[in-house]
Amino acid sequence: MKRLLAFLTVLVFCLAGFSQEPESFNYQAIIHNTAGEVAATHVLTCKISILAGNPYDTIVYSERQVAATNKDGLLTLSIGNGSDKTGNFTSIDWSSEKYFLKVEIDSSSGHKYIDPGITQIMIVPGAFPGSAAKEAPEIIEDKLFISRKYVGTFLDYRQTGPNTYNGPNILWIKTSLSETYGKISAYGKKCKFSIGDKLYLRRTYYSPGEVTGFWEYWIENDSSIYYRATDFQHDHKYFLENWFN
C-alpha cells in the first residue's frame, strides 16, 4: 500500500478553517492515490513552508507535522503547531505583503515528499478584533479543487511549430491515458520526458492584484521536468480547466 501511496493527489477544500487564536490556522486536504482511491486512515509526514513575496521566494517559516487521514481521506493540520520549526510563526506580519503556503506530503516516512502545489494565503480583515497586526490567515480557494492530476505514463511526443519565432512551438504529448485526455499540448521545442515517466497536470493560482487572479497549468514528471500546458487542449478541443472540475 505504501507503493500505491507514493504518488499523491491532493484535493484541497474547506481551507477556510482558522483557529480562534492567531498563533495558528487550519489546513485540510483530501488525499487520493494514483488510482483515484481515497487514502483513508493513513499516517503522513508533512513539510509545511510559508513563503513571502511570491510562490518561489523566501521561506519565512517552516515546520513538520505527522498526522493521519480519517476514514474519508481527510487530512487536517493546525499550521503553527508543528515541530522542527524554522522561523517564528507569531512574528509574521500578515498585512505587510503576500504570503503563500506550500505543503509537501510523504506517505512512506522516507522523506520522499510530493509537492501538490502552492496556494496563496488570503487575509480576512477583522477576523480578530483588536489584534489587526496579528490576524491569522484564511486560505481562500474554490470549494473543491485538484492541484495535481495523474494523466498516465509517457509514451511519445511530436512537435509542431513555425521555423521562426513568430509563433508558438507546441509539444503533443501522448500518455497511456490518451484515450481519456488525448495528446496533451504544451509549449516547447523538445520534450525531455522518458518513456514510462508518470506524468501529472498541475495547476497553480497566481493573484497579481488584490481581487483577481488566474490559473497556470503545467505537465510534469516526478523528476522536476515540466512544460507549460496550453489552456485549450486542441486534440480533444477542451479547455484544460474542465479536467479539474
- Top-confidence range, 12-21, 51-60, 65-74, 189-198: 189-198
Identify whether the C-beta of residue 187 lies closer than 8 Å to the C-beta of residue 173: no
Report the distance separating Cα 107 and Cα 110, nearest Å. Answer: 8
Question: Mean pLDDT in the chain?
Answer: 75
**Is residue 182's pLDDT more than 60?**
yes
**Left, alpha or beta for 109 (phi > 0: left; psi -120 to 50: alpha)?**
left
- Determine the pLDDT at residue 10: 45
Question: 180: Cβ–Cβ under 8 A, 6 or more apart, which residues?
Answer: 152
Of 12, 75, 88, nearest in space to 46 by CA: 75
Q: Which is higher by pLDDT, 231 or 215?
A: 231
Confidence of residue 40 (pLDDT cuts 50, 70, 90): confident
What's the rounded mean pLDDT across residues 82-96?
A: 89
Q: Lowest mean pLDDT of 5-14, 69-78, 145-154, name the range.
A: 5-14
Confidence of residue 16 (pLDDT cuts 50, 70, 90): very low
Q: Which is higher by pLDDT, 195 or 216?
A: 195
143 CB neighbour count, 10 Å cutoff: 8
Confidence of residue 63 (pLDDT cuts 50, 70, 90): very high
**Is residue 77's pLDDT more than 50?**
yes
Identify whether the C-beta of residue 31 lies closer than 8 Å to the C-beta of residue 126: no
- Determine the pLDDT at residue 9: 45
**Is residue 230's pLDDT more than 70?**
yes
User: All domains of the chain, ordered by start, with CATH?
Assistant: 4-142 (2.60.40.10), 148-244 (no CATH)
What's the rounded mean pLDDT across residues 191-214?
A: 77
- Determine the pLDDT at residue 167: 60
